[in-house]
Amino acid sequence: MMIMLILLAALVMGGISIVGFVYLAPATATRTFLSVERWRAGLVRKEIDLHDGTHYVYLEGGQGEPLLLLHGFGANKDSFPRVARFLTPHYRVIVPDHIGFGESAHPPDADYSATAQAERLHAFAQALGIKTLDVCGNSMGGQIALTYAALHPAEVKSLWLLAPAGIWSAPPSELRQIIETTGQNPLLIRNEDEFANLVALVMKDPPVIPRTVLNVLARERMRNFDLEERIFKQIATDSIEERVRGLKTPALIVWGDRDRLLNAATADILHGLLPKSQVIIMPNIGHAPMVERAQQSAEDYLRFRAGLANEARKIDQVI
């Protein structure tokens, strides 16, 4: 009994310490939480300068075939450690901050179209010694991933598309309706309250994040407001439908049925454009399946990759 009381007291004191840490030192707490998530996933922060001087900061971990994970608009590399924890035992996982976001370079006058970002990432992959790879992208990252495959089809073995952007013929989403009726873009953050509201808009089932931590994350977005406004205008006018029509790269298309940023009906349109695609609609999930249902998302992807491997073995046997 005494031992149980001691353990209970220790847990209570530990909880109080954590709460105090979060509220008294939120910036340090945020860095600590992100570091723990990366550590659990087996990811290590790295940096590289390309031949033209472009500076990338990225996470890398695991062994096996390279898998490039691309974050969406306004996000950064820390969108993926939750799902990467289930992927690093199988693949060499690489998660860069896009140019213009996170810790990578922020050139103010650069071209931020999907084509320009895809070509930068191609140079990034070459600098890492990668000749062929599998590519995943969420939202804007999916728009870039599809463009990468269209530009370099012989080098991309498969695509994992988590609510990708760029299919603008789809039915309007709640986000598009807000922008068209109010002239305000909820993706662009001016203050901490707007960021808290954005988290609720993006995810139907977000992880529990203390408001003080959200405020720290908001400030990065606030500092990048002007550049993000410019980037959004470029990607929002870049339709990739004709670019990817008939693309034969095997693709797993995943959408949350409660996605408020991009209409889930987009999945069927993209499925029609990609002859070797599969679609999974996740119930009660918003725009970030890899965060909201990390393990399920990873398991779906691993089954997809296993299916591709089985198909390849059957072809080899016939040959």
Contacts of 11 (CB under 8 A, 6+ apart): none
Backbone phi and psi for residue 279, each to the nearest 5 degrees, phi listed first: -125, 135
CA geometry: angle at 221 spanning 217 and 225, to 5°? 165
Query: How, if at all, do strands 44-49 and 277-282 pair?
Result: unpaired
Alpha-helical segments (H) within 42-173: 81-84, 114-127, 140-151
CA distance 55 to 57: 7
Do the beta carbons of residue 273 and residue 308 sit within 8 Å? no
- 79 carries an active-site annotation: no
DSSP-derived 3-state class of residue 189: coil
Active-site residue among 79, 139, 173, 277?
A: 139
Alpha-helical segments (H) within the chain: 2-24, 26-41, 81-84, 114-127, 140-151, 174-182, 192-202, 211-223, 225-236, 241-244, 266-273, 289-292, 294-318
- 139 carries an active-site annotation: yes
Supply the DSSP symbol for 165.
Answer: S
Do the beta carbons of residue 175 and residue 201 sit within 8 Å? yes
Task: Give the catalytic positions in this structure.
Answer: 71, 139
